Each structure stands twice: as C-alpha cells, then as structure tokens.
Structure 1
C-alpha cells in the first residue's frame, strides 16, 4: 500500500519543526540537551526541527520539557491529520483507531511490518526523482504508523503474504534478510498471526491487489482495496462483507504456521552469504 505525505502536510510538519526550534531556543537548550533529556539523537532532533515526521509520543514529552501546557499535543493533533493526501486521510484516521487489522499483501511486505531499510529501498526504487531528505521523511512517516504496536492500545494484526512477497528481493540480500527475520517472530503471537500463501496453492480468490480490513472500536468495519490505478476505501457494510469473505478464503488457502515458518526460513537461508 502506497502512502506518501501530502505537500500541505509537509508544510505543516515544517512549521511544527519551527515551533520545536523556537521553544528550544526560548529555553536556552541545545540539540545535545534535547538528546540527553529524551534519548533521541541530536541528528534526529535536527530532522524533527527541519520538518521530518516525529514519533507520536514526542508531543507530550515536548510539552513537559518546554512547559508549554499541551501546546505541542494540540499542534500535533492538527498536523498528523494533514500529513496525507485527501484520498488517504480517512483511511489513516480509521487505521489509527482500529482494534484489528487484517491485510493481504500480494507484492511487498505491508507497511506496518516493514523495516526502515526495506521501506527506504521501496521509496528509492519507486521515486528516483525524490531527494534523500524527502525519502527520509517518508521512511519516518511510515515508521510512525508502526508506533501503536509498541503501546498498550496495539491492534491485533492478521496478515496473508503471497509467496512473491518473501521471494522478491528488495534493497539487496542483506536488507531482505533483515526484513524476513523481522517477520518470523510475528507469525504467531498474542497480537499477530501471519501466514504465507504459497505458489503451489495456485490462483487466489479473485483479489488482484492489496487488501486491508479494519475492525473499529464500535465494531464497525472498513476495507481498503488497491487496484492497478488507485485505491478505494469502503465503509459500506455490503462492500466490506464481500472483501472480508475474500480474505477469509485466502486465510484458508494459505500455509499452516509450520509451512509458513519453513518457507520464510528457506528464503532467509538463500539470502545468506
């Protein structure tokens, strides 16, 4: 699934960074002081002040350090909703609230499971015209989407990966090996279940693109289906139900835990020097 920060969102991030710098200088703090206070590196603080996406827990820490009575938390609520193009904004809002996320990935590792190096390789290959700074901003934005998985409100994640996903080498053998090694522990946990849909299972059940299904706190359902040209967000119960059934068939057709583990492990071994 392709998410790229909107131009207006990038401008707002830049203004957010200027606010950080202004408050830091008002307090007489250096970047090294900021790093010592909260553990992020001086280079990370420099990126944040220059408009890179920030970790979602940072606004509260900024308010505490700068004594700004919630100013940064309020600013971030505005900025984060404007980071994405209109066609993705509603999806991002729903994803941020979802209690369960189910995803079918036929081409590449889902963004919520990507390592920074894997994500960077995808951006470099897909957007050769982008500057290094733009690429780093996009990588940090993608990593920011993963922050919920480290918190108490982490969603339950279910995923089906086509075997092409684990066979397609993105970023070179070392990057791909790191990515696959990250997937292995997530195959079966209390918060996640992943499986591989092997080539040997043949044709998939009518899905020709990535699919994401969201279960919301009020038990509402949403589906995002990406075709060859663009994506479509569905909240209509009938439309979501059709895609949910297609995903359920994919789960049935995919490999068992043991088979999925063996397929990923074999792919890792093939990538070793």
Structure 2
C-alpha cells in the first residue's frame, strides 16, 4: 500500500502548516525554538510547516507550547481523514480504530513495521519521478501510522512474512539489516506476533496478494486485499471470513516465533557479510 497523501489532503496539510508558521511567528519563535520545545528536529519541523504529514500527537503539543487552547487539536480532527485518497480513506479510518491487525506480506515488510530508511528506499523505487521533498512527505505519512503502536492502548498486531520479504534487499544490505534487526524485538510480545512463511513449504492459501485483517472495536471485522494498482476494502462478513481462513492457514504453516527469529538472524548475518 503506497498511501500517498490525496491532492485535497495535501492542500489541507499545506494550510495546516501555514497556520503553524503564522502562530509561531506571532509568538516570536524560530523553527529551532519550536522544534526543541516539541521534541523534533529542525528539518522535520520545517517539513511540517511546509505541508508534510504530522505525527498525531503534535496538535496537542502545539496547543500546549503556543497556548492556543485546543485550536490545533480541533483543526487536526477536521482534516486528518482528508490526507488519504478516497480509495484508502475508509480503510485508514478502520485501521485507526482497530483492536487487532493481522497481515500477510508476500513482497515487502508491512508498512506498520517499516523503518524510515526502508520506507524511504521503497518509495524511491516505486516513485522514481518524485522529488526528495515528496519522498520525505510519504515517509512522514507512513511513520505517522506507527504512532498508535507506541500508545498506551495499542492494537494487537500479528503478521506472517513470506521468506522472500526478509531476503529482498530493499535499499541495499545495510537498510535491510537495520529493518530486520528492528523486527526481532517484535516477534513475540504481549502485543505483537511475527512469523515467517518459509519458501520451502511451497504454495499456500494466501499466496498471491497482500492481505490485511482488522478486528474492530465493536466486534466487527474487515479485510483489505491489495491489488496491482489499488486495493479492495472488504466488509461483507462471509467474504471477510473466507480471507480469515486463508490467513489462518498460512499462519498455521509458518515457522514458530523462535524459528522465525533464527532465520531472520541468519539473514542478518548474510547481509553483514
């Protein structure tokens, strides 16, 4: 899933950035002042003021630092869903409130688990005509999806990675090594479960396309099936159950977390050598 900002969403983000800049200048603060006060780098802050997607926790920090009494939080609530193109908007709204997220990844590391360097290399590969600024905006947007995983009430995330995923050197060996090392602490925790589907076991029920399953707060379920150009949000209960069965089958045939850790560690050693 590329999840680039929608054209209308990009305009709204640009206006939001202008509002940040106007309030900062009204307070007599520099870029460096604001970056330090809110805990970001000056370069990241410059991108936010120029219309890059912002971290979800930033509006509250803006209101606190600049004394705007909730103005930025309200503005963000109005525009946040507009960042996404129409074809992704409904999915992102569901993902944001999901209690459980399960993903089968046949090609690349799932976006929720990507490091910035891995995401950047991936965006550069699939968007060869994009400017560096546009690439950084895409990276910021992808990283913003991960904030909830570090919140006080994160969703439960499980993923089955095809062995090809952990061997595909997106960004080169160094970037892949960093990415794989970031996966190791997440393999088996109270909130995450990651496993590898080995190539040696051949075909399986989910083979062919990325699949995401969402367990919603109201007890409902949804699925997102990725296609070559775009994807399909599936909410029909029978269709979701069919995809859930496919995911369960590939999960059952995957390596254990311990076996997955051993394989990932072996691939890291290969990268470093």
Normalised-by-shorter TM-score class: over 0.9
Cα distance in 1, alignment partners of residues 166 and 4 from structure 2: 23
Conserved 8 A contact 2:102-2:213? yes
Deviations 1:140-168 (A, max 9, x none): 00000000011112100000000000011
Where does 1:128-167 land on structure 2 (aligned, <5 Å)?
A: 128-167=128-167
Deviations 1:45-87 (A, max 9, x none): 1111111111111100111122212111111112210111101
Count of residue correspondences: 273
Q: Identify if the C-alpha distance between structure 1 residues 54 and 206 changes in structure 2 by more than 3 Å, giving closer, same or farther.
A: closer
CA RMSD, aligned part only? 1.0
Structure 1 unaligned residues grouped into runs of 5+: none
Cα distance in 2, alignment partners of residues 247 and 241 from structure 1: 10
In the TM superposition, residue 9 of structure 1 has moved relative to its aligned partner by 0.9
Partner of 1:109: 109
Conserved 8 A contact 1:5-1:83? yes
Conserved 8 A contact 1:208-1:227? no
> Normalized against structure 1, the TM-score is what?
0.98
Cα distance in 1, alignment partners of residues 114 and 243 from structure 2: 24
Deviations 1:228-256 (A, max 9, x none): 34310011111110000110001101111
Runs of 4+ residues deviating >2 angstroms: 227-230
Partner of 1:63: 63
In the TM superposition, residue 206 of structure 1 has moved relative to its aligned partner by 4.6
> Normalized against structure 2, the TM-score is what?
0.98
